[in-house]
Structure 1
Amino acid sequence: MRIAIDSGGTFTDCVYLEEGQLKVLKLFSTPQQPGQAVLDAVLKVTPKDARPEIRHGTTVGTNAMLERRGARVAYVTTIGFEDVIAIGRQARPSLYDWFRSPMPCVVPPSLRFGVEERTNAEGEILRSPSIEHLSKLRERIRESGAESIALSLLFSFVNPHNEELVAKALEPLGLPISISHKILPEFREYERGSTVVTNAYLAPKVSSYIRDLESSLTDRFPASIVQVMQSSGGIVSASLAAREPVRTVLSGPAGGVIGAYHIACVAGFTKLIGFDMGGTSTDVSLMDAAEGGPKTTNESVVSELPVSVPMLDIHTVGAGGGSLARFDEGGVLHVGPQSAGSVPGPICYGHGHHATVTDANLILGRLDPDLFLGGNVRLDDARTREIMDRTRGSLASVEHYATGIVMLAETAMEKAIRVISIERGYDPREFTLVCFGGAGPLHACSLAKSLRIPRVLVPCMPGALSALGILMADVVRDYSRTVMMPPIRSGSSHTSPNSKSVAHKILRAKG
């Protein structure tokens, strides 16, 4: 039995194959204990004597990055390079916004440590750290209160000898250690260091979550296999995901991209714009079968931190079904990026007190209160109208309030689609809009009209397409290596033995 589960901010979706039949189960997420909803879903659909293969797309790492709620990371690097992680490339995300300040570095100065060692660009060890120095380094990290260690030494991707010495010396601390030559053996010190820091930042929280979930599942189903969706669109074992949680940052949205691409290709469409609107955010992507389908990138930035492991090229905005509406001090209406989540949720779920996009759709008659989640949940339309009437500010009616909420949400989503299409030289009129997620089909036609997209494809189970994509994904392991190669002179077959350039090679293994 094969089961795929996608944990979202509001709902946890479960898609499973039982005797050749595709079935769907949808439960409310449990934000305080994300694994509980996953466990509940598996227990509901799996017979006691089954041997399930369980695939999971998680947002634990995503949320930890976006909310900056990761571990205290000790960053260990070659002496003299401790502040590279904070200096970065000195590039401003908003070039013309003079008042925008960057987010603080996740590693404060007190947690940056230099090692007296040096390896040159050829891999020659110029200086190895002494036993005495490593002993002092270990004590300094112990006293710092660090919860995780990121180790990234200069040119360790060419020769990891010194990095292995330092890692062995720090093992007695009992802290999770993220080592650069194992996670990302590539050139570009800042990006490599940032990726390793991200892995260390997520390690305690995500690793414990995955290991606890795997333990709970294997306790109940001893023969089960637990796997996790990667940001690159491939499946890996739970043990690998626990060691390298940086590979799961876009775990959930990646499933939606894979699912949308497979379904659209079966339907005969090859140029696609994926539009995934869930409870918390909207994820958009562009795919063209002639260009190889879903695109991956090694230049992603998550919460202003470069992450150089392969990720599907997905653009995200904080506009979902649970996005909260609010008025600022001037009385102007705003929607998102804050979300009501599953607790307390939208007003119509019975517990929330602030209007959301879902509430607006209910007021406008776009949702049937008696048929939500297949009739398993009844939406409280009377309560929604009463609360929204009290909080509509100076707007003329509840309907005007609801219309304004929907228009603002759709404006944010339209801008996101423009970013991945028009701003990159693609004409949306040549594409098909594949809409999914619990709220995607509600807004797809309006967006298609605004962007002049001629076709909208709605899969038969749009609310669970991300889980279906996880079910359909290949088992994939990505490897990379930096190779020093001599350049070829223009107009000559000879090469210069002393001049070298860097070539980056990525290998992808499927099975």
Structure 2
Amino acid sequence: MELHDALVVGVDTGGTFTDFVYVTPDGEVGTYKTLSTPKNPAEAVLKGLEVIGVERVAHVVHGSTVATNAVLERKGVKTALITNSGFEDVIEIGRQNRERIYDLLYVKPPPLVPESLRFGVSGRILCTGEEETPISREEVESVIERILKMGAESVAVCLLFSFVNPSHEEVISEICEKRGLSVSASHRILPEFREFERTSTTVLNAYVSPIMKRYLTHLVTRLGGDERLRVMQSNGGSISSRTAMVESIRTILSGPAGGVVGAFEVGRRAGYDRLITFDMGGTSTDVSLVDGKVSLTTESKISGWPIRVPMIDIHTVGAGGGSIARIDEGGSLKVGPESAGADPGPICYGKGEEVTVTDANLFLGRLIPDHFLGGKMKLHPERVVPRMEALAEKAGLSPVELAEGILDVANATMEK
């Protein structure tokens, strides 16, 4: 590859579209956009790189929703938890607080690790780091044998005071790795006190890491080496693909973080350092506050479970271009959080059957059918009209009133 051909490519995989921005050594900027492939996100990424010219790519910086979606959709791998005897249920007990105090029908999300896959071992480290009870390799090997028989692919290891003395976790990790299991040890993922948050974060990492590893391995193979691929992490920086494979929890807000950092840089160049960043995608809208610098936090939740890793402070709402409009049992118009995504997508994309925010914009003439994506993607208004009319009749509104109402509801959701 000639130096003058070397491209730096930014890739962001969203729920509906996968976006590419590439920069030449001369500073010229180009873009490309394609529909995401939710069943295999790597397909859309590789398609875009082929169009740009993968042989010309020097570096790729990738913002990915693979880890995020695995948690939100509960499609991670079968995961086991090894902890101290008597602490197997920390992941379920939590802080014993009621998340929605006034919601009488609230159901707490079930743990990602069921009770049958939570195991306790007898070793014990004191808060001083001294060993009170040695760990038994035979006991650990017996537990791992049971885990393998139950079909688990990944193991989260979280022992008391391992952030002071990780020796027992290291023994368990070594045995797991020898038996071919993916392992996430809390002293590597989150070496801090507070058992519940540390356990939750480690379990989440174990739950998504094998999926992230398979995904990134596919990309690395196509790129011809991992030195060309960097992955955005939640704090706005980037990590190597190797690190992202084993510490996937650091990429949980990978895509939105890149948007905030990019907006901050644009604002800085324009002479503004106090910003509200607004990133509306197909599935959700992400908002962040910049007051001289990007706001960071170390505490957040995903799908009801706490995570403690450095991340940009981003507020996400379930309203985007693909958010589905419906009439509830009481006759009220609701928009989202369900999204049509990329497959089937909005009605106007040619496959969808449910009215979305994008369809409402097209119906009202705010999108030009022949010029979507610069003319690269044709929209189908003829598919939207009958479905908009049917939903409007159900709501007791005119089609135009319904379309305007869909946008009003989506905007109100984002304004909150």
TM-score tier after normalising by the smaller chain length:
over 0.9
Q: Matched residue of 1:205: which SS?
A: helix
1:382 aligns with 382
Is 1:238 aligned with 2:241?
A: yes
The alpha carbon displacement at 1:394 in A equals 3.5
How many angstroms apart in 2 are the aligned matches of 1:404 and 1:223?
A: 48
Aligned to 1:253: 256
Match of 2:353 in 1: 353
Q: Deviations over 1:190-211 (max 9, x none)?
A: 1111111000010121111111
How many percent identity over aligned positions? 51
Tell me, in whole angstroms, the C-alpha distance in 1 between the residues paired with 2:98 and 2:192. 24
Match of 1:304 in 2: 304
State the alpha-carbon separation in 1 of the partners of residues 134 and 385 from structure 2. 70
Q: Which residue of 1 aligns with 2:397?
A: 396
| Cα distance in 2 for residues equivalent to 1:338 and 1:202 | 22
| Structure 1 residue aligned with 2:3 | none
The alpha carbon displacement at 1:72 in A equals 1.5
Note the 1:478-493 alignment, pairs <5 A: none
SS in 2 for 1:106: coil
Tell whether 2:266 aligns with 1:263. Answer: yes
Output aligned runs, 1:416-495, within 5 Å.
none
Query: Which aligned segments of 4 or more residues in structure 1 are displaced greater than 6 angstroms?
Result: none
What CA distance in whole angstroms lies between the structure 1 residues aligned with 2:285 and 2:177? 41
- CA separation of 1:114/1:329 partners in 2, compared to 1, >3 Å: closer, same or farther? same
CA distance in 1, matches of 2:141, 2:397: 70
Once the two structures are overlaid, the 10-residue window that deviates more, 99-108 or 127-136, is: 127-136
Which residue, out of 50, 67, 73, partners 1:43? 50
Matched, 1:332 2:332: yes
Superposition pairs of residues 56-205 of structure 1, within 5 angstroms: 56-205=62-211
Conserved? CA contact 1:52–1:223, under 8 Å: no
Q: Is the 8 A contact 1:59 1:249 kept in 2?
A: yes
Q: Deviation per CA, 1:344-398: give whole Å up to 9, x if none.
A: 1111112211110011111122212222111112222232122211232133311
1:309 counterpart letter in structure 2: V
- The one-letter code matched in structure 2 to 1:389 is E
Q: CA deviation at 1:118?
A: 0.7
Indicate conservation of the 8 Å contact 2:182/2:210, yes or no. yes
Q: Is 1:51–1:223's contact at 8 Å kept on the other side of the alignment?
A: no
Q: CA separation in 2, counterparts of 1:137 and 1:76? A: 8
- Provide the rounded CA distance (Å) in 1 between the counterparts of 2:102 and 2:223: 51
Q: Which blocks of at least 5 consecutive residues in structure 2 are unaligned? A: 1-6
Aligned match of 2:231: 228
Give secondary structure in 1 for the equivalent of 2:268.
helix
Matched position secondary structure for 2:86: coil
Shift of 1:47: 6.0
Q: Measure the CA separation in 2 of the matches of 1:131 and 1:247.
A: 31
Give the corresponding residue for 1:23: 30
Structure 2 residue matching 1:329: 3-state secondary structure: coil
Q: In the TM superposition, what whole-angstrom CA distance separates every residue of 1:45-85 from its partner, at most 9, and x where no partner exists?
A: 1263x352011111111111111111111110111111111
TM, length-normalised to structure 2: 0.95
Q: What's the secondary structure of 2:102's corresponding residue? A: coil
How has the CA–CA distance of structure 1 residues 285 and 242 changed in structure 2, closer, same or farther, with 3 Å as cutoff?
same
Distance in 1, Cα, partners of 2:400 & 2:47: 38
Q: Structure 1 CA distance, aligned partners of 2:100 and 2:330?
A: 25
Q: In structure 1, how many angstroms separate the alpha carbons of the residues matched to 2:209 and 2:226?
A: 26
The residue type equivalent to 2:40 in the other structure is Q
Aligned to 1:8: 14
Structure 1: any 5+ residue segments left out of the alignment? 416-511
Higher RCO (CA < 8 A, seq sep 6+): 1
Where 1:374 maps in the other structure, the secondary structure is: helix
Shift of 1:224: 5.9
Superposition RMSD in Å: 1.4
Tell me the CA shift for residue 162 of structure 1: 1.2
Alignment-mate amino acid for residue 302 of structure 2:
V
Q: Name the TM-score, length of structure 1 as normaliser.
A: 0.78
Q: Could you say if the C-alpha distance between residues 27 and 157 of structure 1 is closer, same or farther in structure 2, counting changes exceeding 3 Å?
A: same
Contact kept in structure 2, 1:46 and 1:52, CA below 8 Å: no
Aligned length: 408
Which stretch of structure 1 is more off in the superposition, 318-327 or 371-380? 371-380
Q: Which amino acid aligns with 2:38?
A: P
How far apart, CA to CA, are the structure 2 residues paired with 1:168 and 1:357? 51
Cα 1:394/1:155, change in 2 over 3 Å: closer
1:406 pairs with 2:407: yes
SS of the equivalent of 1:135 reads helix
| 1:275 equivalent in alignment to 2:281 | no
Q: Partner amino acid for 2:258?
A: G
Q: Deviations over 1:381-426 (max 9, x none)?
A: 23212221123213331101101111111111011xxxxxxxxxxx
Asked whether the equivalents of residues 231 and 248 of structure 1 are also in contact (C-alpha less than 8 Å), the reply is yes
* Structure 2 CA distance for aligned equivalents of residues 145 and 394 of structure 1: 49
Q: d(CA) in 2 for partners of 1:196 and 1:37?
A: 30
For residues 64 and 221 of structure 2, the distance between their equivalents in structure 1, rounded to whole angstroms, comes to: 16
Distance in 2 between residues matched to 1:173 and 1:326, nearest whole Å: 50
8 Å Cα contact 1:211/1:239 also seen in 2: no
Task: State the distance in 1 between where 2:176 and 2:241 align.
Answer: 25
Q: Which amino acid aligns with 1:265?
A: R
